[in-house]
Amino acid sequence: MSIQLLHKKLINKKLTISVAESCTGGLLAHNLTKLANSSKYFEMGITTYSNQAKIKILKVNKNIIKKYGAVSKECCKSMVQNLSKISKSKINVSITGIAGPGGSSKNKPVGLVYIGIKNDKTLLIEENFFKTKKRYSIQSLTVKKVIKTILKTIY
């Protein structure tokens, strides 16, 4: 399953997509826009790396971050739900996690990534754990997982 297949599906089904990324730092947006005619489906990409950006831009309630942390199902869910209000895209994606090598804790190790996908029918929040400790590998595996999951939801 590849970005080329997703590209074709989004265009053929006339679907739009927006993304809110944290630990992937715009890599998903880059992959979604690297092919010609991506403007037919790509609406927006927001990289809300800091907690303040999540609060100010995506309107994540600061109490969610205080209680659960920025790397949590609750934060990921809030990110994708609020993105869908801002973007009006048919498909919205949020990503928050720990790509490392630092920033981890016992309960939230490097490789822990939450992916949120919201479309007209479904809200999916997935907890993923990528065993590699290499930053770019975690980011890249996250993007591949998002592409694969979106393809499953639009068949």
Predicted confidence at residue 78, as pLDDT, reads 98
Which helix or strand (DSSP H or E) is residue 93 part of?
strand 91-97
Predicted confidence at residue 121, as pLDDT, reads 84
What separation in angstroms does the CA of 3 have from each of 20, 58, 131, 146, 147? 18, 26, 23, 10, 7
Across residues 128-147, what is the average pLDDT? 97
Q: Which residue has the tokens 């809200």?
A: 123
Residue 154 has pLDDT above 90, yes or no: no
User: Residue length, the chain?
Assistant: 155
Tens of pLDDT, residue by residue over 35-75, are: 999 999 999 999 999 999 999 999 999 999 999 999 999 99
The mean pLDDT of the chain is 96
Rounded to the nearest angstrom, the gap between the alpha carbon of residue 9 and the centroid of all alpha carbons in its chain is 19
Q: Model pTM? A: 0.96
Q: What percent of the chain has pLDDT over 70?
A: 99
Predicted confidence at residue 155, as pLDDT, reads 67
What is the phi/psi pair of residue 5, to 5°?
Answer: -65, -45
Predicted confidence at residue 1, as pLDDT, reads 53
d(CA 12, CA 78): 29
Across residues 103-111, what is the average pLDDT? 93
Output b/e per residue, 42-61; b: 16+ Cβ within 10 A.
Answer: bbbbbbbeebebbbebbebe
d(CA 73, CA 81): 12
